[in-house]
């Protein structure tokens, strides 16, 4: 396996991904090994421009993927420190595995329900009654 480098990869599917990559050249059939591939997209609006980032494959906990060269249009190494920093920060922040437990399972494991100290103020019904009282709305006449 060759040296690792940060790369932006354009796939034949049209997707553009960024990953820490290396090339595995065993058996004279090179394969690109991608660690933690992500999709980065520029978003432009009147207030500025932003980078939207998401995992390339969202419902999988794997962090390494192999891509054959016939599925790749081009690979370009990126040395832009800002992009590499954004990539590394995203990967570090999303290391926690996904939790597919239902709310019922979480409650049965001893986790508590939200209360007013956590930001949960009231039920929808209680909030509606309070707002109706504040604005003197009679639900039967409106």
- What does the pLDDT read at residue 139? 59
Question: Which candidate, 52, 16, 59, 50, places its Cα nearest to that of 34?
Answer: 16
Q: Which two tokens stand for residue 2?
A: 């060759």
* pLDDT greater than 70 at residue 87: yes
Phi, psi of 120 (to 5 degrees): -85, 110
Per-residue confidence band for 132, with pLDDT thresholds at 50, 70 and 90: confident
Residue with the bigger pLDDT between 52 and 110: it is 52
Structure tokens at 59: 């419902």
Domain boundaries, the chain: 5-93, 103-135
Report how far residue 51's alpha carbon sits from residue 80's, in angstroms, rounded to the nearest whole number: 14
pLDDT of residue 126: 86
Q: For 13-50, what is each residue's pLDDT tens digit?
A: 999 999 999 998 877 888 999 999 999 888 898 888 88
CATH class of 5-93: mainly beta
User: What region, left, alpha or beta, does residue 15 occupy, with left being phi > 0 and alpha being psi -120 to 50 degrees?
Assistant: beta
């Amino acid at each position: 396996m060759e040296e690792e480098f940060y790369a932006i990869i354009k796939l034949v599917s049209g997707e553009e991904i960024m990953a820490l990559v290396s090339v595995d050249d065993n058996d004279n059939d090179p394969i690109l090994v991608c660690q933690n591939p992500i999709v980065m997209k520029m978003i432009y609006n009147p207030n500025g421009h932003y980078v939207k980032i998401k995992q390339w494959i969202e419902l999988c906990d794997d962090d390494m993927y192999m891509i054959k060269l016939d599925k790749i249009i081009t690979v370009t190494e990126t040395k832009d420190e800002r992009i590499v920093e954004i990539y590394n920060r995203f990967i570090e922040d999303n290391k926690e595995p996904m939790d597919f437990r239902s709310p019922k399972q979480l409650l049965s494991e001893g986790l508590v329900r939200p209360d007013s100290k956590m930001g949960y103020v009231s039920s929808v019904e209680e909030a509606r009654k309070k707002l109706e009282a504040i604005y003197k709305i009679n639900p039967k006449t409106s």
